[in-house]
Structure 1
Amino acid sequence: MNRRQFIHSSIFALIAGSLASCSESQKFQLRKNMVIGCFGDSITNAGGHGYVELLQEKLNEEHPELQIKLINFGKSSETVSGLTEEDHPGPRPYLFERLDDILAKNPIDMALFCYGINCGIYGPPSEELFNSYKIGVYSFLEKLRQKNIGAILLSPPPLALNAAPLDHLSDSIPYGYKNPYPKYETEVLQEFKEIVLKMEHPVSQLEIDIHTPLLEQQENCYDQDPIHPNPKGHELIAHTIYRNLSF
């Protein structure tokens, strides 16, 4: 699949029909021996020491009888939009270049999805940008539908520039992860959050907002840079997911 080629308009029409107002989220009921694949970028990967592992520890401690297994498929820099900013060191990894292989080799019952912060490539908003993200989320769900796998969608984390400001931001050089568009949080990531929370699809069992609590507590959850949450931020993500589960 060409990373810059959008799926044709008939597919996008289906996506548009899937977007509707969210009703109040219901907790997701975990089942015994469930295997959950966790898909995302570096925030999910976290070197094996992030929210995925913290959630696994919590489930093992509180509900060992369920024997839930989480598998971390996070990959640094990855997107579901297939886009790459000009100053990125090479093309960003694109989930759909490896998703079929993962699903073929790893039987999973549920998928936990967390993409978005890289998907807008840190630039200004545009309809093309929003459509590429909608198509990415929808295409992921369609891949799962083919395998009869359910999904839990997480909203993208914020860009926490107040807690971890970047020096020397400029609109005279290309926008990217080192030089994000100043309103990337308010004009792009907030819209991505709404896309996820309003994406009604038969495969998606639950949509969880991790963006808002991370943003509200950014002074505690970020320090090294505005993209990657610190250990407290990962704890907050894991807690937010956990309290949306039932047992």
Structure 2
Amino acid sequence: MRISLFFVCLLSFIYSNAQHLPVSSKNNFRIVFLGNSITYAGYFTAEIETYYRLKYPANKIEFINLGLPSETVSGLSEEGHAQGNFPRPFLFDRFERTINQTRPDLIISCYGMNDGIYLPLDTVRFKRFQAGIQKLQQEADRRSIELVHLTPPIYDPIKGEAYAHVLDVYTKWLLSQRKLNWKVIDIHNPMKQELHTRRNQDPTFIFAQDGIHPDEFGHWIIAKNILIGLGEIAIESSVSFEDFYQTYPNGEKIQLLIRNKQSLLKDAWLCGIGHQRPNMKQGLPLKEAITQTDLMQNQILELVE
């Protein structure tokens, strides 16, 4: 089945200047998520896949989460990171292997949180972040791979206003790159607004105990705004992900299967590709993981039908 109409929905952005990604006519389409520990956690990536499985059950699309904890796009690492056990991994140490082995049609990238290494705004560090993001865009363009940048999630100002400001600046710069026809979806400002609204109602409200890693509700805000950025405006009325998936038969079972499938696959892919981040979960051999997740996918398809 051809899926061009599906990708009108998937790959159309709602920007003020109505930018759009091209429509794909491929029968299979692979999306790879790149990022740090927030991406690796997998809640927002699983919610995005669950949304498309439920809403567009006939269409073939593959989602691979390849977030890597601690990673940066800037190549920076603070002194004494991880109690001095290892420096932060750098995306471009694994990027070429990742692309060659996964062969994505679309990359969704989420960096910035670690790239200022939790220090106040600094011109040199900011330029390193900009250079890393620009290189990522250039590498995707060179390979004719579509790339969507996400602005960084928020750092809770309760934990440090200076670093919260750093991510404000990084976000503003990323959004400004839309003038170059970059595809950029803003998750930072919607999270910031949601935090402000909730904290006005309840001063103890938080997205993240450590100020960095969002809880499941924080991941929902991320997923919701990515989906809106991809043209799925109807999701705006959902107050939670449960509010969305419970309108579908077997929605909760499908969500849990997709979480488990993505979790198994991400560790297998990360181990198979290789990376410089120690103390990661040892994944199954990729072939075995794919066999197991194919069975899960069949279960998902049966539940959707």
Tell whether the structures are fold-level matches, with TM greater than 0.5.
yes
> Which of 134, 139, 143 is 2:139 aligned to?
143
> Which of 202, 208, 223 is 2:185 aligned to?
208
Separation of aligned partners in 2, 1:245 and 1:94: 28
Contact 2:119–2:163, Cα closer than 8 Å, also in 1: yes
Alpha-carbon shift at residue 182 of structure 1 (Å): 4.0
Q: Aligned pair in 2 of structure 1 residues 223, 194: CA closer, same or farther (>3 Å)? A: closer
Contact 1:83–1:92, Cα closer than 8 Å, also in 2: yes
Structure with bigger strand share is 1
Calculate percent identity across the aligned residue pairs.
Answer: 32
Separation of aligned partners in 2, 1:214 and 1:39: 20
Q: Which structure has the greater CA radius of gyration?
A: 2
Look up the equivalent residue of 2:72 and give its one-letter code: T
Alpha-carbon shift at residue 201 of structure 1 (Å): 8.0
Contact 1:27–1:246, Cα closer than 8 Å, also in 2: no
Partner of 1:227: 212
Per-residue CA distance 1:17-38 (angstroms, 9 max, x = gap): xxxxx96454656645321110
What TM-score do the two structures reach when normalised by structure 2?
Answer: 0.62
Separation of aligned partners in 2, 1:25 and 1:80: 28
> Which of 38, 57, 64 is 1:64 aligned to?
57
Separation of aligned partners in 2, 1:232 and 1:27: 29
Report 1:156-235 matches (<5 A).
156-162=152-158, 165=159, 182-186=161-165, 188-200=166-178, 204=182, 206-218=183-195, 219=198, 222-235=207-220
Partner of 1:73: 66
Number of aligned residue pairs: give it. 205
* 2:106 equivalent to 1:113: no
Look up the equivalent residue of 2:34 and give its one-letter code: F
Contact 1:26–1:244, Cα closer than 8 Å, also in 2: no
Structure 2 unaligned regions, length at least 5: 1-14, 199-204, 233-305
* 2:229 equivalent to 1:244: yes
Separation of aligned partners in 2, 1:214 and 1:57: 21
Contact 2:38–2:67, Cα closer than 8 Å, also in 1: yes
Partner of 1:82: 75
Structure with bigger helix share is 2
Partner of 1:4: none
What TM-score do the two structures reach when normalised by structure 1?
Answer: 0.76
* 2:34 equivalent to 1:39: yes
Look up the equivalent residue of 2:219 and give its one-letter code: H
Secondary structure of the residue aligned to 2:209 is coil
Contact 1:34–1:69, Cα closer than 8 Å, also in 2: yes
Contact 2:31–2:107, Cα closer than 8 Å, also in 1: yes
Alpha-carbon shift at residue 236 of structure 1 (Å): 1.1
Look up the equivalent residue of 2:173 and give its one-letter code: I
Look up the equivalent residue of 2:187 and give its one-letter code: I
Separation of aligned partners in 2, 1:223 and 1:246: 28
Q: Aligned pair in 2 of structure 1 residues 133, 23: CA closer, same or farther (>3 Å)? A: farther
Alpha-carbon shift at residue 65 of structure 1 (Å): 2.5
Secondary structure of the residue aligned to 1:66 is coil
Separation of aligned partners in 2, 1:229 and 1:127: 27
